[in-house]
Amino acid sequence: MVAQACVFATPAIRDDRRRGLEVTVFSNYSPSRRELLQVGAGLVASAMVRPTLGLAAAVSDYKITPGPGRARLKGGGGSNTDVWAYDGDVPGPVIRLRQGKPARIVVENRLQEDTTVHWHGIRLPNAMDGVPGLTQPPIKPGERFVYEFTPPDAGTFWYHPHANSLQQLGRGLAGALVVEEAEPVPADRDVVWVLGDWRLDSDGNIAPGFGNRMEAAMSGRVGNTVTLNGTLPGDQNVRAGERIRLRLVNTSLARIMALRFEGHRPVIVAVDGQPCDPHEPEGGRLLLAPAMRLDLIVDMQGEPGRRYAVIDDYYDGLAYDLTSFAYAGQAPLRKNPLDAPMRLPRNPLPEPDLQSAKRHELALQGGMPSMGNMTGGGKMQGMGGMSGGTGGMAHGRAIWSINGTSMTGDGHADMLPLVTLMRDSSHVVTMRNETAWWHPMHLHGFSFRVLSRNGVPVPHNQWADTVLLAPKDTVEVAFVADNPGDWMLHCHVTDHQTAGLMTVLRVT
């Protein structure tokens, strides 16, 4: 046990900080005397208490208010867009909880319609899962609901409505939820990037046409404006030599991203909040589909004064610079990358017993048939034009199905479970994507171990709550059914979910 705590100074505090998007990391890691000398004057190394305790103790009580808000989604300064937002701002506030400590979050609905909040990825009691009809009555306009749970896992999660999801998420209701480890890994800064995707018309308003059937049968409502923490991504100011823990959250309705960090070598330390063996992404590309999160450790080893692009090249022929790292001119914070462990402590996940596990198959079906070669990368189809509004999808008309059955919408009372699992038994679920489209498949209430993809074992001990299936992929996942209740399993491309790519698992 290390008695001494230290605080690494933040080179530049951006105003994101007030909204919790960036915090100086307090760590119990004790640098060597040599490192202290290298770090220099900015470092305070003698705090006697663990600052993390004070940091989070005050914030396990939250109130968030979904309602109308305004956001700066367009360039050129003044133009504001009407959005739906938590506490009037996009993204919603970063909710910071502590692992194993109770949380109480009051949600007061100031929208003109019913809503709920789903705490995506948190293993919580079913009654707190936020699915209208299935786990709770919807929160009516003007009413409140109190969510209470104790997050068992540290990690990066997020929250969003589970009612009228296409519009509520598509108009801006989303926020990051960080559950802090008791002892975080050493880093100079902990930074959250909430990535959002919007379809704006030429006036900068959110374009109508949610639920366009053509899009729903293809890649979903992919937008035309990507934001980082709610604004058009400007430069990210960094200092040479610093180590950043970067938490990526993709809150898009449908946009899949594949990020490359020019000149840098990010290390993935957690997937969907769950620690994995630290590893560099294949081909240097960070694949991030809707609802997925990645925790990275990035050593800023670029040159002072230079800029390095962060590129999203997921869609064929549509690569763009998402943002860039802009290095301050200052001398490096330290000469060599911080020599400290990156591995996060494991969360208390029950390990499935693969020998005794029951096996299940889920065939994902429907959508438009293949449109040419789908293997190279993402195809963006069904943009529908900016004027797009071909009218809403008739409710309940399914385009997609799982094992021949389609559940549509966001959650309702008469969703009969596809299968009932005995409590505490182990299960292997094989998902087969028989469609021509990509699907980030998400299970509520559990994290599953990702066993294999197309027969090849998945390396690095990866657990997830959302796993991306390319066209024709077969993915095997395993979990212990230790959490009783009715749990949704659906594609997180929201158009796909609401048009039938959804089912319910019951655990009793």
Query: Which listed option, Cu ion, ligand C2O, none, makes contact with residue 162 (CB within 5 to 8 Å by class)?
Result: ligand C2O
Question: Alpha helices, DSSP H only, in 40-142?
Answer: 51-57
Q: Taking CB under 6 A as the rule, does residue 162 contact ligand C2O?
A: yes
Pairing of strands 358-366, 426-433: parallel
Query: Which listed option, ligand C2O, Cu ion, none, makes contact with residue 439 (CB within 5 to 8 Å by class)?
Result: Cu ion
* Per-residue tokens: 191: 């930074």
Tell me, rounded to whole angstroms, the distance of Cα 308 from its chain centroid. Answer: 24
- Taking alpha carbons only, the member of 92, 87, 81, 82 closest to residue 119 is 92
Query: Which listed option, ligand C2O, Cu ion, none, makes contact with residue 334 (CB within 5 to 8 Å by class)?
Result: none
d(CA 460, CA 462): 6
Q: Taking CB under 6 A as the rule, does residue 96 contact ligand C2O?
A: no
The count of residues interacting with ligand C2O (CB under 6 A) is: 10
d(CA 502, CA 491): 6
CB of 160 to ligand C2O, least distance (A): 6
Render 22-69 in DSSP notation, one character per residue. EEEPEE-----HHHHHHH-TT-EEEESS-HHHHHHHTTSEEEE-EEEE
* Per-residue tokens: 231: 């604004």
CB of 498 to ligand C2O, least distance (A): 11
Beta bridge partners of 81: 71
Residues 286-315 that bind Cu ion (CB under 5 A): none
Query: Residue 168 belongs to what H/E stretch?
Result: helix 165-170
Question: Which residue matches tokens 């796993």?
Answer: 467
Type of residue at 340: A
Q: Taking CB under 6 A as the rule, does residue 444 contact ligand C2O?
A: yes
Q: Taking CB under 5 A as the rule, does residue 407 contact Cu ion?
A: no
Tell me, rounded to whole angstroms, the distance of Cα 148 from its chain centroid. Answer: 21
Among 266, 289, 496, 502, binds Cu ion (CB under 5 A): 496
Nearer to Cu ion, 69 or 91 (CB): 91
Q: How far apart are the first and last CA of the chain?
A: 41
Nearer to ligand C2O, 121 or 241 (CB): 121
Nearer to ligand C2O, 161 or 241 (CB): 161
Q: Taking CB under 6 A as the rule, does residue 449 contact ligand C2O?
A: no
If 0-12 CB within 10 Å is exposed, 13-18 middle and 19+ buried, where does residue 339 land?
Answer: exposed
Question: Which residue matches tokens 């070669």?
Answer: 373
CB of 120 to Cu ion, least distance (A): 4
CB under 8 Å to 261, separation ≥6 — which residues?
284, 286, 298, 308, 310, 325
Nearer to ligand C2O, 243 or 442 (CB): 442
Q: Taking CB under 5 A as the rule, does residue 444 contact Cu ion?
A: yes
Q: Taking CB under 6 A as the rule, does residue 123 contact ligand C2O?
A: no
Q: Taking CB under 6 A as the rule, does residue 442 contact ligand C2O?
A: yes
Query: Which listed option, Cu ion, ligand C2O, none, makes contact with residue 496 (CB within 5 to 8 Å by class)?
Result: Cu ion
Residues 483-502 that bind ligand C2O (CB under 6 A): 488, 490, 492
Q: Taking CB under 6 A as the rule, does residue 120 contact ligand C2O?
A: yes
> SS3 for 299-351, per residue?
ECCCCCCCEEEEEECCECCCCEEEEEEEECCCCCCCCCCCCCCCCCCCCCCCC
Q: Which stretch binds Cu ion (CB under 5 A): 62-70, 160-168, 205-213, 433-441?
A: 433-441
CB of 502 to Cu ion, least distance (A): 10
Q: Taking CB under 5 A as the rule, does residue 491 contact Cu ion?
A: yes
Query: Which listed option, Cu ion, ligand C2O, none, makes contact with residue 493 (CB within 5 to 8 Å by class)?
Result: Cu ion
Query: Binding residues for ligand C2O, per CB under 6 A?
Result: 118, 120, 160, 162, 291, 442, 444, 488, 490, 492
Binding stretches for Cu ion (CB under 5 A): 120, 439, 444, 491, 493, 496
